[in-house]
Amino acid sequence: MTAKLLPTNPTRYPLDWTAVFFFTTIHALALLAPWCFSWSALGMTLFLHWLFGSIGICLGYHRLLSHRSFQVPKGLEYAIALIGATALQGGPIFWVAGHRLHHAYTEDVDKDPYSARRGFWWSHMLWIFYPNSEFFDYEQYQRFAPDLARDRFYCWLNRNFLLLQIPLGLLLYALGGWSFVIWGMFVRAVLLWHSTWFINSVTHLWGYRTFDTNDNSRNLWWAAVLTYGEGWHNNHHAHPNVAKAGWRWWEYDPTWWAIWLLKRLGIAQKVVMPPT
């Protein structure tokens, strides 16, 4: 397994000090949490981790926009994408384009944005600090998500997703003061970043394989717990357009439960199910 993950002369990219400063600052602010702890702030953090993580990123950015594994009315799709953008993981065109490239080039260390073949830390976070312009320059990456790039709303959201942190911060301050701001914005952002990044890193290293895919993807239970079902990564790489990530009864997948509820209510249509 280790031999498969070793890169073969991967391209080196310059360090982006702006990204280093940004992520370091958010992590540093999250360290203030012990001095402003409250149970209500912790509860708000857990709620926003679920809302932005499961609904915004996993259901919205990933299963709905990246893979089109189901359909919802356009107004609801926009609302879910807005929640995903507030998670502070990039705009929808950026996120979707990078993820589609990850699936298309899992064996190419240069064309896969967060290739696990370059090692744990590269796939976990260093790909952000040493950016390849093909994945971070809009004019280059937008061609990998043409369906979103043609939509005015997604173009606006892709440019302005950072502005969503302003109303979020004001709302949290109004609800609970600086305690809610520190916990609901910075602690939540750090926890959700690393939860999401674990799917890029650990689920290509550890866990069991139900399907014999060529990308070393794995099913890892604790990653699934942290990411609301995304940790069943081998299932997903074998059938990326399927709306369910957890196929067996015990493969915990609460993001699928939300999709199932939308389907039962007649809101979600054309839900792609696992092949029989």
What pLDDT digit, counting tens, does each position of 42-53 carry? 999 999 999 999
Which pair of tokens denotes residue 78?
């926009």
Residue 9 has a pLDDT of 62
DSSP 53: I
Whether 1 has a pLDDT exceeding 50, the answer reads: no
Residue 71 phi, psi dihedral angles, 5° rounding:
-130, 145
CB atoms within 10 A of CB 6: 11
- What SS3 state is found at 231? coil
Give the pLDDT confidence of 87-127 residue by residue, as tens digits: 999 999 999 999 999 999 887 788 899 988 899 999 999 99
Residue 214 has a pLDDT of 87
CB crowding 115-125: b at 16 or more within 10 Å, else e:
bbbbbeebbbb
Burial of 175 (0-12, 13-18, 19+ CB in 10 A): middle
Give the pLDDT confidence of 247-275 residue by residue, as tens digits: 999 999 999 999 999 999 999 999 999 99
Of 205, 200, 247, 251, the C-alpha closest to 228 is 251
Burial of 106 (0-12, 13-18, 19+ CB in 10 A): buried
Kindly report whether the global pTM for this prediction surpasses the value 0.95.
no
Instruction: Using the structure block, give the residue that is written with the tokens 């979600």.
Output: 268
Instruction: Using the structure block, give the residue that is written with the tokens 């969503």.
Output: 164
CB atoms within 10 A of CB 222: 12
Give the pLDDT confidence of 159-205 residue by residue, as tens digits: 999 999 999 999 999 999 999 999 999 999 999 999 999 999 999 99
Residue 156 to residue 17: CA distance in whole angstroms: 26
Give the pLDDT confidence of 222-255 residue by residue, as tens digits: 999 999 999 999 999 999 999 999 999 999 999 9
Element of type H or E holding 141? helix 138-141
